[in-house]
Amino acid sequence: MFLNKNKNMKIITNFKTILLFSFIISALSCEAQIIPLNTGILSIPENAYVKDSNNELMPYIGTYKANFQGKEITLFINKEEKRIVKRIDKQFYRDALVVKYIVKNATGTILQDTQNNNSQGIYLISSNMKSGNTVRLIYSGTNCGVGWGDIFLKKINSTQISWEYRPDDIIIDSSKCPSGTDINIYLPETKDLIFTKQ
């Protein structure tokens, strides 16, 4: 009887080991489905990876400058691979352009600088490519979400991009946006502004 019990325990232990090993192997062999960069949002499955396989984002990477209404705007455009995107109905990963910026007035005083801002408060991230060498960026807006909207960057040539900013409206909630908060929009609200690569 005692030998039978030991034998059964060994079988159970071996079975558990095999089962655990099987789970580990299956977990390692599962990879996220890789789909093209221009896949429409409704066609992206849960946990997919929207990959820039053709390096479509590469021409936008760099530092660009423009002047608008007495302000100097510097864009720092980088590519982030496998950036997590969380939607109400799904989560997936996307290669994206992440834009940080500095806006200075005519005397060189910095009005807004997001270059060292790692919070998700103010962000400018690509969401998809449009036809004609244009990328659409989602802008969270400045403090309290003021100025949120879309920005379109169109590649003109190897050293220039064209800028179009389409801000949306927002109602400011004083309980979430304290009095005295800087709610100015410093990015240029215009179309066809040319930024030159530095």
Q: How far apart are CA 93 and CA 117, in angstroms?
A: 22
For residue range 127-178, list pLDDT tens digits in order.
Answer: 777 776 899 999 988 888 889 999 999 999 999 999 999 998 777 878 888 8
pLDDT in tens, 58-114: 999 999 999 999 999 999 999 999 999 988 889 999 999 999 999 999 999 999 999
Give the count of beta carbons closer than 10 Å to the beta carbon of residue 24: 10
Domain positions in the chain are 1-30, 56-80+95-197
Residue 52 is which amino acid? D
Burial class (CB in 10 A: 0-12, 13-18, 19+), 176: exposed
Q: Which helix (H) or strand (E) holds 17?
A: helix 2-29
Among 198, 117, 197, CA closest to 161: 197
The fold for domain 56-80+95-197 equals Lipocalin (2.40.128)
141-to-2, 122, 185, 187 alpha-carbon distances in Å:
73, 6, 8, 9
